[in-house]
Structure 1
């Protein structure tokens, strides 16, 4: 269900997507409203699940995670037991930043962030030990052109 938001809500969310550590005074100043209504709207959007969480976004390369792999997975098994094992394996691997089930020839795509190719190989070996996979294709990202968590609200 799509939430009904007005322009003030969208402006507040746009600011929070850029920097959620801003003081309430600054957010209110930027949207041209007083603190109390801005705070009430933020609280309501948190309660409604529109604002799921507030996190620090880290620089992976500065922390030694220089390699980003996109892993395309095809499976020949579509039973509930295989799916449960696969989901558990993916959710428990901290290297997996994103996992998506796809329509089309590829069943799943994973975004995996690791230190280097050797670390990716260790991840791959651990994954196939936990769950049987029909076909895996991995692609190393040579350059990150765009990376954002901000939704296009305006």
Structure 2
């Protein structure tokens, strides 16, 4: 059963210890979140009410953040995926707030990460084509001062998954 380990003094999130049934439930939901409660219960070998209670506790603990539909970008005409490497000479709070606001306002930014090392940020930008990327780029640099931008066009998606390796993480 799900067990929460208290917050660490440094402010890190609570670690949730999972048992085998929790892992099975989460694996099933990561594969197909549209499974019915009956289907999940059947596949994990438990009855409906205890499975529902486990799912509820996993939601409350923040393990399950949300359930979404994963769309095919090409089917929507969003055929160009760019990975954008950003270096900045600005590191103050005001700049960071403007930068984060600019990213959050742009739906074409589907992922953004702050990095350690020579590159400060990496963005995953999904757009129709190179012209659409250029419009995104021009808009972004018009709003926020950026020292250096490198855009890399993904030629082929080899692997994409939203599934986390829960067996290793919670063992």
Query: Which TM bucket (shorter chain)?
Result: over 0.9
Matches within 5 A, 1:24-63: 24-63=37-76
Q: CA deviation at 1:61?
A: 0.3
- The TM-score normalised by the length of structure 1 is 0.98
Q: Deviations over 1:111-153 (max 9, x none)?
A: 0000000000000001001101000000000000000000012
Q: Deviations over 1:25-63 (max 9, x none)?
A: 100011111111000000111111110000000000000
Distance 1:8 1:117 in 2: 46
Q: Deviations over 1:52-110 (max 9, x none)?
A: 00000000000000000000000011111111110100111100000000000000000
Matches within 5 A, 1:130-149: 130-149=143-162
Aligned to 1:112: 125
Pairing partner for 2:81 from 51, 58, 68: 68
In the alignment, is residue 129 of structure 1 matched against residue 147 of structure 2?
no
Distance 1:80 1:122 in 2: 26
In the alignment, is residue 93 of structure 1 matched against residue 106 of structure 2?
yes
Q: Secondary structure at the match of 1:43?
A: helix
Distance 1:38 1:9 in 2: 9
- The TM-score normalised by the length of structure 2 is 0.89
Count of matched residue positions in the alignment of Structure 1 and Structure 2? 154
Distance 2:59 2:114 in 1: 27
Distance 1:5 1:38 in 2: 14
Relative contact order: is structure 1 or structure 2 higher (C-alpha 8 Å, sep ≥ 6)? 1
Distance 2:135 2:129 in 1: 10
Gaps of 5+ in 1: none
Pairing partner for 1:18 from 25, 31, 38: 31
